């Protein structure tokens, strides 16, 4: 019988690819540890809309991960409360489903992360420009989280220019200008951008929110455009789409429905709840954890992604 000869597949062939894939992975010792990849020690993170809700939860989580913080909001009092809370708490992050409070805990041992607060009206482009001009190079953030937003409700036929302008200015234009200034200042260094859009941009569900829906759809387009144009310059750009999150804003809608007996809001709330695959509303901290993932080295190959944090609403 002829002697059987075993040959290795060519390296460029599909079989060669399978052979390489079957070889043992690199030794674990050569890979960074999970804890080091999650850590944001030495990082500086800018969060807009940081005085309450999702922004406050993000500030708490990022401080816990060791990041220095630049917190931006137009509410000076609550912004200072959040900064004080983070500075004086050992574990500032609330458990999932728990209400976020502003009651300081006993002073934590060890140094607290640096926290700088800025009172800023994001609807004013000149204020955004002055803000970035005031930041020295050594205090530039390496991560930008555009979280601030407003959601006025009004019948489309009653929507006027003032409401439309205000909504687009805060929810879309401010995000664009903040991204532009960030990229310009870090063009040779790269960075991370996380934009907060909404499930309403993908599947409008609540009536009387067309300007809001338009503005958040614009955030998605902006995110994907930046991801394409600046990925090779070292920028990772992604978006989070929250939905059914218990924030001061959503709680206010519930109170409005109860106080004014708004049957349409009750009906919307009922159908909305039935679409949630997890059967419950989310906590702001559950959005903050996804933002922490996107900012960390765990997401080093995630680019131009739209990540719903909605309890399964969009999948139902």
| Spatial CA neighbour of 75 closest among 120, 123, 131 | 120
Residue 124 CB coordination number (10 Å): 15
- Pairing label, strands 68-73, 191-196: unpaired
Query: Which DSSP string corresponds to 256-270?
Result: HHHHTT-HHHHHHHH
Question: Tokens for 178?
Answer: 């903040």
Per DSSP, the three-state class of 245 is strand
Q: Pick the catalytic residue: 151, 212, 230, 301?
A: 212
- Residues 26 and 251: their CA atoms lie apart, in Å, by 49
- With beta carbons less than 8 A apart as the criterion, state whether 65 and 45 touch: no
Per DSSP, the three-state class of 146 is strand
118 catalytic per annotation: no
Distances (CA, A) of 85 to 41, 66, 73, 285: 19, 15, 16, 15
Distances (CA, A) of 179 to 69, 73, 90, 111: 17, 16, 32, 31
- Residues 286 and 247: their CA atoms lie apart, in Å, by 12
Specify which residues 47 forms β-bridges with.
71, 145
- With beta carbons less than 8 A apart as the criterion, state whether 71 and 131 touch: no
Question: Among all residues, which ones are annotated catalytic?
Answer: 212
């Amino acid at each position: 019988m002829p002697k059987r000869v075993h040959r290795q597949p060519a390296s460029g062939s599909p079989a060669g690819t399978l052979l390489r894939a079957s070889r043992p992975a690199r030794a674990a010792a050569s890979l960074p540890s999970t804890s080091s990849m999650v850590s944001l020690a030495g990082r500086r993170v800018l969060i807009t809309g940081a005085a309450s809700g999702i922004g406050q939860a993000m500030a708490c989580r990022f401080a816990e991960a060791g990041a220095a913080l630049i917190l931006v909001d137009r509410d000076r009092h609550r912004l200072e409360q959040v900064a004080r809370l983070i500075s004086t708490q050992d574990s500032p992050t609330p458990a999932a489903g728990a209400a976020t409070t502003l009651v300081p805990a006993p002073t934590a041992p060890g140094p607290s992360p640096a926290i700088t607060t800025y009172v800023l009206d994001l609807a004013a482009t000149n204020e955004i420009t002055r803000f970035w001009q005031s930041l020295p190079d050594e205090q530039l953030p390496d991560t930008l989280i555009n979280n601030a937003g407003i959601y006025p409700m009004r019948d489309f036929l009653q929507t006027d220019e003032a409401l439309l302008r205000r909504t687009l200015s805060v929810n879309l234009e401010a995000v664009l200008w903040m991204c532009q200034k960030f990229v310009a200042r870090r063009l040779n260094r790269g960075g991370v951008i996380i934009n907060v859009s909404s499930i309403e941009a993908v599947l409008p569900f609540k009536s009387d929110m067309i300007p809001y829906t338009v503005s958040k759809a614009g955030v998605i387009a902006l995110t994907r455009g930046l991801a394409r144009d600046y990925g090779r310059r070292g920028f990772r750009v992604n978006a989070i789409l929250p939905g059914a999150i218990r924030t001061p804003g959503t709680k206010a809608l519930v109170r409005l429905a109860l106080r004014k007996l708004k049957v349409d809001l009750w009906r919307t709330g009922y159908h909305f709840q039935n679409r949630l695959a997890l059967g419950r509303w989310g906590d702001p901290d559950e959005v903050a954890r996804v933002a922490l993932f996107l900012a960390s080295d765990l997401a080093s190959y995630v680019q131009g992604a739209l990540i719903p944090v909605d309890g399964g609403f969009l999948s139902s």
